[in-house]
Amino acid sequence: MTYGTLFLLILAGAVVAFWLDALGARELAGQRSRQLCEQAGLQWLDQNVVLQRIWLTRIDGRLTFSRKYRFEVSFDGSDRHHASISMSGRRVINCILPHRESA
């Protein structure tokens, strides 16, 4: 096996690992955003989160990916408002939900 082939295998493995990590993070962001909406008395629309931004951060000395997802919520089912959740690794670091006064 040549070094070029070995490099391609390592690169392919890294891409697959990143992709699987992204899928897991997206699913977790969906679960957490749904829970936060239930606690706030909001309806979580479309049962979906969309990746808005990704960046590298350092947590406890380790580099990890932070991701910001956006989703939509409703107060009574007849309106639609933007919301977002930011996660660093598997931790929620920020969540922005609309308030009834701003609607």
Residue 20 identity (one-letter amino acid): L
Using DSSP's 3-state secondary structure scheme, residue 14 falls into helix
How many whole angstroms separate alpha carbon 73 and alpha carbon 20? 27
Q: What is the pLDDT of residue 7?
A: 94
Per-residue pLDDT for 103 more than 70?
Answer: no
Global confidence as pTM: 0.85
Burial class (CB in 10 A: 0-12, 13-18, 19+), 1: exposed
pLDDT (tens digit, 9 = 90+) per residue, 39-94?
A: 999 999 999 999 999 999 998 888 999 999 999 999 988 899 999 999 998 899 99
Band of the pLDDT at 99, cuts 50, 70, 90? Answer: confident
Q: Between the CA atoms of 74, 78, 81 and 87, what dihedral angle is there, to the nearest 10 degrees? A: 30
Is the pLDDT assigned to residue 1 strictly greater than 80?
A: no
Q: Quick check: 23 pLDDT over 70?
A: yes
Where do we find the tokens 């660093």? 88
Whole-angstrom distance, CA of residue 57 vs CA of residue 102: 32
Beta bridge partners of 65: 56
